[in-house]
Chains A and B, each alone.
Chain A
Amino acid sequence: MASTTFYSEKSANLRNSVFLVVIVMFVLGVLGAAIGYALTGSRTGAIGAIVIAVILGALSSIGSYFVGDKLVLAASSAKPVSEEQAPQLYNVIRELTIAAGIPMPAVYVIQDDAMNAFATGRDPAHSSIAITTGLLNVMNREELQGVLGHELSHVRNYDIRFSLLVGVLVGGVAMLSGFFLRYTFWFGGGRRSNNDNNNSGGGGLQIIIFVIAIVLAVLAPIFTRFVQLAVSRQREYLADASSVELTRNPHGLESALAKLAGDKVVMKEANKATQHLYFHNPLMKLNENPSALFSTHPPLVDRINRLRQLTGEAPLDPDTAGSLGAAS
């Protein structure tokens, strides 16, 4: 069953990637057009801005496709580790790549006491897995297998490529909007009236477009961010399930998640730009029940309960779930 699910997952994710890129490009284009028209008051200006926005979007997508993984690894202070230095880590990863039928990824370690891991890259042949020393020291072999199974599922399902593209495009929309809003705030009025003289009859329309552009600039980043978050959370549940599909051992991952819930150390090198890549949200703890809309990851308790469903066990009762955060 693993393979059937895998191949359909892969194509679903490729479709998702294309869909998301098209949507974000469209948002970029509309935003660019509105901003261009609002600023210059001419159709040429609008078209020029569309072209600039779309070219920038395309360039940064292509850039993220080829070097995004290196940037992410560098931003997280991940260092490559050799097989002699971490034989068990290599062994566990190699086992899982055999189960998943994918090539061996590059292995990185992050010097951090917080427990976390992430995978990145553009496809399974160009993928990297990074794991914190905290996670490596605390987890036993079975739990390590569960966590790495989750990460390798992201690799196998092409979630890694999707995340890279999403990060860059959503960032691009936010940047363009931010630029426009700041620009309007400082120079908006003066520039507009200058152009009104050159384009007779464009004034009324331009003001309307200007208002639309401001509304768009405020809404577009929020909208694209929601799309990213919704997709990200679904991929996390799926990677948990795929991990169990690979290891055939739900208890390893479950006990790993329980240990994470007790982890009070916050990642040093994680930030808003990279948080969606990690095994669990590096910026949030179990008890700060993340409000559903704004989190990149589902709450750990929900992830544990979904695994317990697989084994036919009763979900954790709320008291235990609450005390998980305080344990160990």
Chain B
Amino acid sequence: MSLGLIILIVVIVALVGFVILTYNGLVQRRLRVDEAFSQISVQLKRRWDLIPNLVAAVKGYMDFEQDVLTKVTDARAAAVAAGAQGPAQQAQAENALTGTLRSLFAVVENYPTLKPNENVLSLQEQLTTTENQIGFARQHYNATVLDFNTGIATFPAVLLAGPLGFAKREFFEAEPEAQAVPQVVLR
């Protein structure tokens, strides 16, 4: 009789312990996902702040291609505005901005006087690193999402994930043209 009681208590303690450990583990993973997501917007904001400087630096040299600069400025304004409209619109606007920036750098390559300009080179490096940081922040976000989704979908945590209110997170889709366009290479 008392042996049965002891077994019962052990089983209950083990179950409660399992629930606590699983819950805390999942919460920790979910926090990592949220943190990784906020990193992406930090990097996007950084890019918004850099663009006016870049535009100002190249403006004087590029009399004939003002429309490229206008496009960059417009795309930036659209991206800033889209920031409040939800992830889907934001992703689209940011991708458009990335596209206009790439065409700007392509144009800069055609200006021999502009290319070795110290200020432009430094801004180019700044934008390269920001582009990379955005890419890496998305990559890291996807990694944490994979970790979290795997966590809630595998046994035995899968038994608790639903009742405790853990839902699958979405991956960040890469822009389709990202692989096709060559990067700005700096030495």
Contact = CB atoms under 8 A, between A and B. Distances in A.
B32 A101 contact: yes
A95 B187 contact: no
B146 A98 contact: no
Interface in A71-97: 87-88, 91-92, 94-96
A3 B129 contact: no
Contact of A98 (B32, B43, B150): B43
A87 to B, nearest CB: 7
A99 B129 contact: no
Closest 10 CB pairs of A and B: A91-B129, A99-B136, A2-B143, A3-B143, A3-B147, A95-B132, A98-B136, A140-B187, A101-B140, A98-B137
Given A3-B32, A96-B136, A141-B187, A88 B125 contact: yes
Chain A CB within 10 A, most for which of B32, B36, B133, B146: B133
A185 to B, nearest CB: 56
Interface string B38-70: 010001000000000000000000000000000
Contacts of A200: none
Contacts, number: 60
Nearest to A141: B186
Contacts of B146: 1, 3-4
A39 interface: no
B139 interface: yes
Contacts of B126: 91
Nearest to B150: A4
B181 interface: no
Contacts of A2: 139-140, 143
A98 B39 contact: yes
Prevailing SS type, chain A contact patch: helix
B185 interface: yes
A7 interface: yes
Interface of A: 1-4, 7, 87-88, 91-92, 94-96, 98-101, 140-142, 246, 248
Contacts of B139: 2, 99, 248
B187 A99 contact: no
Given A88-B125, A91-B125, A141-B186, A101 B147 contact: no
A3 to B, nearest CB: 4
Given A3-B140, A95-B132, 13 more contacts: A2-B143, A3-B144, A4-B147, A7-B147, A91-B126, A92-B129, A94-B129, A98-B136, A99-B136, A101-B143, A140-B185, A141-B128, A246-B136
Interface string B127-167: 01100110011011001101100100000000000000000
B92 interface: no
